[in-house]
Amino acid sequence: MSEVDQSLLYQEIPIYSNLSHITQRCKEISVEEASEGTIDAENCSFPDAGGGIKVSVGGDERNVFWRTHGDVLELQERSLNFPVSVIYRITFRNSKALPSVHISPKANCLHVLCGTLHGVHRLVFDLSTRKANAQSIFHSLGARDFSDPGNSFYFNDVMMLTGMNSAVLDPSSGRAATSLFALISASGNINLVRMPASGPCTTSHLEASSRVTRLLRGINPWSSGTESEAICSVAFAGVNTEEPKILVICKDYRVCVWSCKNSKSYDHLCQLQMSEYVEDQVTKIGNEHRIVTCRDDAADRECVCVFLKLEENSLFVAFEIGEGGEMKHVATVQSPSNDNDSLTTTLVDFKLSPDDCLWVMTVNADDQMALSVCNIHQQNWHEVALDNLPSQELSPVAHMTVRETFIDELFMSGKFSHRSIAKALAIATRSSVVCNTTEELRASVIAHLEEEVSNLLENTSTFEEVNGTQLSVFSTFYRTCLQYQLYFSRPVGFSLPSHDGVDVVKKDHISYLSPVPDLEAVCLGVQPSVFKDVLPEGSNLEDFGKLLHCLSNLSLLLGEELIDDMMQSLPFTESPNDCVETHLPNIRQIISSARSEEFEDGLVSISDFLSAVGMLVSCLDPSPFEPEGVDQENMCGLNEEGIELLARSFSRYIKDRLRLSLLLFILTIHVDEIRGMVSSQVALHVQAYTALNWIASAETEYISRGTLEVSLQNLSVHEMLSTTQQLQQNAVVSRASLLYYYLKCDGSRLLSSFINFNGVLTKQLIPKATAAITKVLWPLGPTFAFPQFLLQNAQYSNLEHYLGHMLQPWCKYQPSFTSYLLAQCHLNNGHYDKAVDGFIGAVELVHEDEHFLAAVLGTVSDSTSRFDIQMLYFNKVIDLFEQLELSEQVIRLAKCAITFSLHDDKSLALRYSTTFRQCLALERYEQAFWAIASNPNYDYRKNCLRSLVIKLFENREYKKLVEFSYGDMQNEFVGIMEERARSCEVPLTSHPTQYDLLHAFHIFRKNYRRAATMMYEQYWRLMTDAVLNANQALQSLHRQHQCLVVTVSCLLLVDQENQYVVHRCDYLNNTDKTKNGSSIIIKEAADIQKEIMLMGAKMKLARDASDLLPNANHSPSETVALLTHAAYYDDAFTISRKFDLKMKSIFRAVATRCVYSSYLDSDEVRKWLKKNKNDVQLGHGFLKPADSAWLLLKKYLHEMATNEDYRAVLDILLGFRAHLPTWFINIYKKLNCPELIRSLICYDYLELATKLSVDFVNGVLGVRPADFGIRNTLLKYKHPVWLPRNEIQMLINLLEEKQSEEDQFFEMYESLCDKMEEYTTTLKKLEVH
């Protein structure tokens, strides 16, 4: 086997720009090149062409690509770091673009030279003022740039052209440089257009001849020679020297060289016949010869490479050109095509690099591209590993539906561009399709295909019919997409070679080349010595190389189809062993039937197979690394193109490593001698790479705003907010490649941590970046960044699939963190019990997972004990469930935490308190009280008991609140209830109150006096509440009355000596509750009964006399006054007697009412009479209301009045000049007749006073003495008798004065004097005897 140069091994990484959400932008520019009819442009056709060059802009490495097809020239600038990938599409109307564009970036200027059938153009762009993050180089490009006379030249006459080449002479002069265009006419001659920086363009004509070289001037001085002398291709050399040169290859295998030193004449320097290098092949005239040049600035030399198209096997002949135009042969290289392919293979492009590497791109008859490279001195061709084309036919995967299979292949496999899918959709729908994002295109495709399926199905279709119809419709659309994908993937050229290879330009996209990794390179024939510094010293590298060679042969034996089928089935089997065992009989049959001696001999030649496998396993395992410090402030994000290149490079890298791991595992199973010794270790790597391959092909899940909020809440609880700002900025995560989204969010930080990445991504960094991504995502450690990223970005379904299906149970790295993250997934999906199981399962080894400690708990195992870590973990998890109000699950977690903290009272107190809160939330009161009783901390117990009391009260669980058995917490319960009762207002509308419950609590436990105390305190609270009594007087009084009645009822149930309540009133009345006073009230049952009576009177006043709202704390005397005012005389007298109050005011009020009743309407009198039950009614019912009033007064006087009360009534009656009732006079003259006479005299009741005086004297004389209450008279004189002489003498004197006024007074005077004389005479008689 020939030696393989690893530096020439490359693999293709296509960039379709379909992993992101946004499609490429395009700026259309239309240039009117010629008027219609000047040249029949439709009859002229050129092959599609393309190329590119690398440009440095402000430290950013950019690539400028061009394409020509038909009348269109496309210019595109691509960058791996900044979004500048806008396509500028210039359409030359009524013309065709020539398939050659020259781009020269020198002296801060970018020259772009292009041509059409009607003229040539020069575009100059300034690079000096641009920065790496500025807009595109072509930002200012417009149609006006093609009409500038100084940079455009149009032909005067019609020219039929077959090709063109151009160059910038002395490009280091920047804008002052001269441009030179060489146009190949259909006749095989050259027309030269020299375009200086300033001034008019000049034209010249060159003609290749075997005898002489003629130089003619003018735009159309065509002087055609023979057909064999026609020029096929033209190139420029020495453009940086004082004597630039023009080189052409003619059909007759001649190379001619001209000097461009003089702008007015072109000197023929030399010509060289190529036929001597053709050897024995027949040299027929051909028009497909080509010539290119290459400048090696480092060696200060210029090389020329000529392609000679031959019938059998084409050649590439390389020369070194001297300053005088002499050409020195360097090498002749055979075409990379086989002999059988020479006639069917078409050369697309070829270029020679400064390091003497020849790059050749060809396509076969099936448009299959081949890109080869070799060193012209070694002449050993190396094929570039091209990207696999999509499958011609697609069958549904066993674990996926038809729709999922085809849609994932189109949008997630990375094998189809947006343009090909959109084009197929436009053909299928027969309409134009405008989709700005991948999501819109995906939705449009699904909608169209589903509509097609529904149109072909009937309502009663069976499952098999539906499945068959879907397969037919989706397969048809898939084949259309495949046709367009193959068409748009046709190569049109590649960029100028550089130190990192070339970039392939295709019709629709760009493909970058990346070096083949070391392992794959050794499989391709590179010497295994590249691993000398990687493998341990003394390793048998020869065995290592032979093992890789055996794996390459095994891959060829098994075939791509079988290996791909096994790789696809790996994610759906429990282990690689199950997958291989399924195919093992077929594998052994293939190996035995092939009888490959090379494979068998290779196995036998390995001296130490186990050691070789061990070396390969160590190479498959990513090397350990230490993250570097990251400057978060100066770190910038990656561009979409750079992210896609990283993602596709990683995807290819992982697929190759998975293939290699699987082949190694198959080989270890196949070789019986070592089966079971290393297969388990190899299987571990197969599973790890299977997981990474899933990451490379998975899709993000759509994240709504609601899910986002819950995720943020969870992250805030766990303080995992490293990417939350990014998540908040995106707001909603759309469907995209999962790997792309990961690199977009964390790519810059990842690369800055693990490679020398300064924020600018280059192609040279791609292999290192790919390896760094593999290290970070490696399931077996040492990082756990990817699962954390999925959690932080709410990718719960992907996280669950990755951890639960791709890693468990084989991956033992960070088991606690894995269980924790899976629990988070179950939690998000609503599987709360599974989530609890996961969280509990993670606690055992949580102290050993360093990533978990740092990311979730924010601690390290060295500084924190195992117990503290577990308790901190339980705190985090329980807080999360409490935030989500999942009480059932919190109880489970708390009980589990209790088992881990049996000997720590502080933790136990916290866990029992948590259990209590959740049991209380679930209204499991017995369990809640069990948690209270089990709590070792008294303060916690009391606080929990307070919460229980509040909850029961709020939920109206009064029976449970009263009858619950509180055990040794009973005193605390009473204290809590009393505290709550005293700290809040006593409501009137809601019942029962806190005091009512305390009363019921003590009644239930037969503590009647304590119950009475609570009710009396409630009464006192109501009585002293001024606001309540002012706004709801009647309700407050009614409630107070009830409290007093209940209080008395309770006191009557205890012994008589204990029938009292003790009440400290100052505490309740004092606004500062913290000050304890000593004012204590002791109330006996009798006292409380009086208060009940008083309260009843107040209630009557509040109910029936709205104008006299009594205050609840009015004294009895005040209440009597209000009752008297309201005519409630019965109640007033009753209260006065109970509280030993004087009744004078009441009698005055009644007397006043009686006086007024003589003048008021009967209804008015009846109204106040009805308020008193002592109202006197006669049996016949004809008594007037006024008479009833007087009788009521008589009754009150008879039953309750004292002398003082009578005097009060007398004063009222006399004051109103009222007629004194006879019964009142009769009663009063018995009580105190002298006082009555005196009062009558004072109020000028002289007639009545005279009559009473006469009658009193008669009584003393023995006439009816009983009427005046006289016991001793003069009739039976035994004892001295008393006569009110002063009052009678006062009356006589008054009558004596008034007798002259009226006869009546004279008569009264005479009668009274006569009676006194009679009294005197009688008295003298008695004294004599």
More confident residue, 191 or 135: 191
Which of 87-96, 467-476, 712-721 shows the lowest per-residue confidence on average (mean pLDDT)? 712-721
Are the C-beta atoms of residues 823 and 838 closer than 8 Å to each other? yes
**End-to-end alpha-carbon separation of the chain, Å?**
187
- The per-residue pLDDT of the chain, averaged, comes to 83
More confident residue, 651 or 870: 651
Q: What is the C-alpha separation between 798 and 775, in angstroms, rounded?
A: 20
Are the C-beta atoms of residues 1150 and 1193 closer than 8 Å to each other? yes
**741-796 pLDDT tens trace:** 888 888 777 777 766 666 778 888 888 888 888 888 898 888 888 888 888 888 88
Task: Report the half-sphere exposure of 959 (CA within 13 A, side-chain side).
Answer: 0
Q: What is the C-alpha separation between 194 and 217, in angstroms, rounded?
A: 12
Q: What is the C-alpha separation between 949 and 925, in angstroms, rounded?
A: 10
**1009-1021 pLDDT tens trace:** 999 999 999 888 8
**807-842 pLDDT tens trace:** 888 888 888 888 888 988 888 888 999 999 988 888
| Average pLDDT rounded to a whole number, residues 629-646 | 65
- pLDDT for the residue 1071: 47
Q: Which strand (E) or helix (H) includes residue 427?
A: helix 418-429
Q: Which strand (E) or helix (H) includes residue 304?
A: strand 301-308
Q: What is the C-alpha separation between 513 and 9, in angstroms, rounded?
A: 10
Q: Give the pairing type, strands 503-506 and 491-494.
A: antiparallel
pLDDT of residue 349 exceeding 90, the answer is yes
Task: Report the half-sphere exposure of 683 (CA within 13 A, side-chain side).
Answer: 21
- pLDDT for the residue 404: 85
Are the C-beta atoms of residues 711 and 718 closer than 8 Å to each other? no
Are the C-beta atoms of residues 994 and 977 closer than 8 Å to each other? yes
Q: For residue 898, give the nearest of 849, 936, 846 by alpha carbon.
A: 936
More confident residue, 1074 or 1173: 1173
**551-595 pLDDT tens trace:** 888 888 888 888 888 888 888 888 888 888 888 888 888 888 877
The neighbour count for residue 624, using CB atoms within 10 Å, is 9
pLDDT of residue 1076 exceeding 80, the answer is no
Type of residue found at 414: G
- pLDDT for the residue 1011: 92
**158-212 pLDDT tens trace:** 678 888 999 998 888 888 899 999 999 888 888 899 999 888 898 888 876 644 4
Are the C-beta atoms of residues 475 and 16 closer than 8 Å to each other? no
Q: What is the C-alpha separation between 804 and 831, in angstroms, rounded?
A: 14
Q: What backbone torsions phi and psi does residue 53 show, to the nearest 5 degrees?
A: -155, 155
Are the C-beta atoms of residues 519 and 502 closer than 8 Å to each other? no
**1113-1163 pLDDT tens trace:** 678 888 888 888 888 888 889 888 888 889 999 999 999 989 888 888 888
- pLDDT for the residue 228: 66
- pLDDT for the residue 476: 92
Q: What is the C-alpha separation between 802 and 692, in angstroms, rounded?
A: 9
pLDDT of residue 987 exceeding 90, the answer is no
Type of residue found at 155: F
Q: For residue 714, give the nearest of 820, 800, 563, 580 by alpha carbon.
A: 820
Which of 340-344, 861-865, 1263-1267 shows the lowest per-residue confidence on average (mean pLDDT)? 340-344
More confident residue, 720 or 831: 831
Spatial strand order in the sheet of 357-363: 346-352, 357-363, 369-375, 382-383
Which of 130-139, 141-150, 926-935, 1171-1180 shows the lowest per-residue confidence on average (mean pLDDT)? 1171-1180
∠180-183-188 over CA atoms, to 5°?
A: 140
More confident residue, 361 or 312: 361
Q: What is the pTM of this model?
A: 0.75
Which of 50-54, 530-534, 820-824 shows the lowest per-residue confidence on average (mean pLDDT)? 530-534
Q: For residue 429, give the nearest of 442, 412, 447 by alpha carbon.
A: 447
Are the C-beta atoms of residues 13 and 513 closer than 8 Å to each other? yes
Query: 40-45, long-range: CB within 8 Å, 24+ apart, which pairs?
Result: 41/71, 41/94, 41/95, 41/96, 41/117, 44/96, 44/117, 44/160, 45/96
- pLDDT for the residue 292: 94
| Average pLDDT rounded to a whole number, residues 28-57 | 81
- Most confident residue range from 66-75, 263-272, 341-350: 66-75
- pLDDT for the residue 661: 92
pLDDT of residue 725 exceeding 70, the answer is no
pLDDT of residue 467 exceeding 90, the answer is no
Using the Cα atoms of residue 1074, residue 1079, residue 1084 and residue 1090 in order, give the sign of their dihedral: negative
**325-339 pLDDT tens trace:** 788 889 999 888 654
- pLDDT for the residue 842: 85
